[in-house]
Amino acid sequence: MKNKNPRISREIKTVAVMITIYCHKHHSADELCPECEVLLEYARKKLEQCPFGEGKATCARCPVHCYRPEMRQKIRILMRYSGPRMIYKHPLMAIRHLMDGRREEQLSITKK
Protein backbone atom coordinates (compact mmCIF):
# COMPACT_ATOMS: atom_id res chain seq x y z
CA MET A 1 0.00 0.00 0.00
CA LYS A 2 1.44 3.34 -1.07
CA ASN A 3 0.92 5.99 1.59
CA LYS A 4 -0.30 9.36 0.34
CA ASN A 5 0.97 11.17 3.42
CA PRO A 6 4.53 12.44 2.75
CA ARG A 7 5.44 12.56 6.45
CA ILE A 8 4.44 8.94 7.00
CA SER A 9 6.12 7.83 3.76
CA ARG A 10 9.37 9.49 4.86
CA GLU A 11 9.13 7.83 8.27
CA ILE A 12 8.62 4.41 6.64
CA LYS A 13 11.71 4.93 4.44
CA THR A 14 13.75 5.98 7.48
CA VAL A 15 12.71 2.91 9.47
CA ALA A 16 13.47 0.67 6.48
CA VAL A 17 16.99 2.09 6.17
CA MET A 18 17.61 1.73 9.92
CA ILE A 19 16.45 -1.89 9.89
CA THR A 20 18.65 -2.59 6.86
CA ILE A 21 21.73 -1.10 8.56
CA TYR A 22 21.11 -3.18 11.68
CA CYS A 23 20.33 -6.42 9.86
CA HIS A 24 23.33 -6.24 7.56
CA LYS A 25 25.64 -5.90 10.54
CA HIS A 26 23.99 -8.41 12.88
CA HIS A 27 22.16 -11.00 10.77
CA SER A 28 22.62 -11.03 7.03
CA ALA A 29 24.98 -9.73 4.39
CA ASP A 30 22.70 -9.36 1.38
CA GLU A 31 19.03 -8.93 2.19
CA LEU A 32 16.91 -8.64 5.29
CA CYS A 33 16.64 -11.76 7.42
CA PRO A 34 13.12 -13.06 8.10
CA GLU A 35 13.05 -11.57 11.61
CA CYS A 36 13.96 -8.08 10.37
CA GLU A 37 11.53 -8.43 7.45
CA VAL A 38 8.72 -9.11 9.93
CA LEU A 39 9.76 -6.09 12.02
CA LEU A 40 9.82 -3.84 8.94
CA GLU A 41 6.38 -4.99 7.84
CA TYR A 42 5.05 -4.49 11.38
CA ALA A 43 6.50 -0.95 11.57
CA ARG A 44 5.16 -0.10 8.10
CA LYS A 45 1.67 -1.29 9.06
CA LYS A 46 1.70 0.70 12.30
CA LEU A 47 2.92 3.86 10.57
CA GLU A 48 0.30 3.58 7.83
CA GLN A 49 -2.40 3.23 10.49
CA CYS A 50 -1.11 6.16 12.58
CA PRO A 51 -4.11 8.25 13.66
CA PHE A 52 -2.00 11.45 13.82
CA GLY A 53 -1.08 11.47 10.13
CA GLU A 54 0.96 14.45 8.95
CA GLY A 55 1.02 15.98 12.44
CA LYS A 56 2.64 12.98 14.08
CA ALA A 57 5.76 13.26 16.15
CA THR A 58 8.49 10.67 15.80
CA CYS A 59 7.34 7.42 17.39
CA ALA A 60 9.71 7.92 20.33
CA ARG A 61 7.85 11.12 21.30
CA CYS A 62 4.34 9.90 20.52
CA PRO A 63 1.85 9.79 23.43
CA VAL A 64 0.23 6.66 21.95
CA HIS A 65 2.39 3.55 22.02
CA CYS A 66 0.88 1.35 19.34
CA TYR A 67 3.76 -1.17 19.15
CA ARG A 68 3.45 -4.37 21.17
CA PRO A 69 6.02 -4.33 24.02
CA GLU A 70 8.31 -6.95 22.44
CA MET A 71 8.30 -5.17 19.05
CA ARG A 72 8.89 -1.82 20.75
CA GLN A 73 11.94 -3.28 22.52
CA LYS A 74 13.30 -4.67 19.24
CA ILE A 75 12.90 -1.34 17.46
CA ARG A 76 14.59 0.49 20.34
CA ILE A 77 17.64 -1.79 20.18
CA LEU A 78 17.75 -1.49 16.42
CA MET A 79 17.50 2.32 16.45
CA ARG A 80 20.08 2.66 19.19
CA TYR A 81 22.52 0.88 16.88
CA SER A 82 21.44 2.36 13.54
CA GLY A 83 20.74 5.94 14.58
CA PRO A 84 24.36 7.10 14.96
CA ARG A 85 25.35 5.28 11.76
CA MET A 86 22.64 7.07 9.78
CA ILE A 87 24.69 10.29 10.02
CA TYR A 88 27.42 8.68 7.90
CA LYS A 89 25.38 6.46 5.61
CA HIS A 90 22.31 8.65 4.97
CA PRO A 91 23.05 12.13 6.34
CA LEU A 92 20.07 13.97 4.82
CA MET A 93 17.63 11.35 6.01
CA ALA A 94 19.19 11.41 9.48
CA ILE A 95 19.01 15.21 9.71
CA ARG A 96 15.38 15.22 8.62
CA HIS A 97 14.55 12.56 11.19
CA LEU A 98 16.27 14.59 13.90
CA MET A 99 14.39 17.71 12.83
CA ASP A 100 11.09 15.80 12.87
CA GLY A 101 11.89 14.66 16.39
CA ARG A 102 12.47 18.21 17.59
CA ARG A 103 9.60 19.94 15.84
CA GLU A 104 6.58 21.21 17.69
CA GLU A 105 4.07 18.45 17.85
CA GLN A 106 0.77 18.97 16.11
CA LEU A 107 -0.84 15.90 17.52
CA SER A 108 -4.44 15.80 16.49
CA ILE A 109 -6.08 12.71 15.18
CA THR A 110 -6.79 13.00 11.47
CA LYS A 111 -9.81 11.49 9.78
CA LYS A 112 -8.94 8.98 7.06
**Structural domain includes residue 110:** no
**Torsion, Cα of 26, 31, 36, 38 (10° steps):** -160
**Structural domain includes residue 60:** yes
pTM flag (> 0.85): no
**Structural domain includes residue 83:** yes
**Structural domain includes residue 72:** yes
| pLDDT per residue as tens digits for the range 64-108 | 778 899 999 999 999 899 988 988 988 888 888 777 766 655 544
**Structural domain includes residue 45:** yes
**CA 66, CA 49: separation in Å to the nearest integer?**
10
User: Based on the structure, what is the number of domains in the chain?
Assistant: 1
| pLDDT per residue as tens digits for the range 33-55 | 999 999 999 999 998 988 877 77
**Structural domain includes residue 20:** yes
pLDDT of residue 54: 73
The domain in which residue 31 lies consists of: 6-102
In terms of C-beta distances under 8 Å and separation of at least 24 residues, what long-range contacts does 45-49 make, across chains too? 47/3, 47/8, 47/11, 47/12, 47/15, 48/1, 48/3, 48/8, 48/12
